[in-house]
Amino acid sequence: MRVLITGGAGFIGAWVGKALHEHGDDVVIVDDFSTTIYDGRLKEERVRALLPKAKVVRGDMADGNWFWRVTEEIRPEAILHFAAIAGIRYAQKDPFAVIRANVTGTASVFEAVKRVPVKRIVYASTSSVYGRNQKVPFHEDDPIQLPSSLYAATKRECELLAEVYRHTSEVQSIGLRFFTVYGPWGRPDHAIWLFTKAIFDGSPISLYDYGNAARDFTSIHDIVRGVLSVLDRSEVSCTLLNLGNSHPETNGNLVGMLERIIGKKARVLPMPLPKEDVPRTYADVDRAKELYGWEPQVPLEEGLREFVGWYRAYHRI
């Protein structure tokens, strides 16, 4: 089928696009190649490496009329909406840019689909929406009323928009709550990349919550399998789905694993947890298992070895 991927030059979008292309699907990516969070050259290189044959459309997702015209021209059977300004830290710096990209950009997708019918819409949400919830693991039906960051609030707003369009316009979609995705060609602002770079460079690592903050680090390969499972099972009725490793690890233990893999000690600076962070994320993936037959397969240390190997090759270390 023909699949349009917004944010297709991003980490998750490019890997999913690669898998779809290998399955014989026609992949079109929409991306503005923004340099907001990190150097746009990485996005260009990522597309050349993972999606050398995909059609690339460059533009601003928040321009609703422009995206409608793109959708009308391409006539996709499915839209994977992954375009966003991700990252808790940047949202504190420029909240209006994040609101525009995340919320207005998502509204652009739903408005376009009102005019150009699409069989399947899958959009990216995040584990951050669970905010300060104390009950773990996080389940899709848990109440969500205590976001810790503006970024989390924008992604929750995307979920609410999806519900409104489902109710008023019968636009069917499913939101995937991703839990701390990592792997080759990942994001330089994520902990695993930052910690790896710091160990190689001999720079200090800020360990929040004094090394006790825990994240449900999830391999990109597991995420890709999850997205494809959702696309393949269009008959399944589901509006929100966790995709996570369901095995949280503290950032202190993460550093220890990277030290063993790299063969070099880290310089650690224990620090308190920032207000916009949460102490832990932990995915309940029972719904994904029951409805889609999906469960995580890549252990964290195995995934870290793959990432470090890629990082060495990418930086010629």
Residues marked as catalytic: 151
Say which amino acid occupies 6.
Answer: T
Say which amino acid occupies 286.
Answer: D
Say which amino acid occupies 21.
Answer: H
Say which amino acid occupies 160.
Answer: L
Please state, in angstroms and rounded to a whole number, the distance separating the CA atoms of residues 248 and 125. Answer: 19
Please state, in angstroms and rounded to a whole number, the distance separating the CA atoms of residues 312 and 100. Answer: 36
Q: Is beta strand 214-215 parallel, antiparallel or unpaired with respect to 249-250?
A: antiparallel
Q: Measuring CA to CA, how many Å separate 300 from each of 157, 205, 297?
A: 31, 20, 10
Helices 11-22 and 40-50 sit at what angle, rounded to 10 degrees? 10
Query: Residues of 159-177 as b/e, b for ≥16 C-beta within 10 angstroms?
Result: bebbeebeeeeebbbbbbb
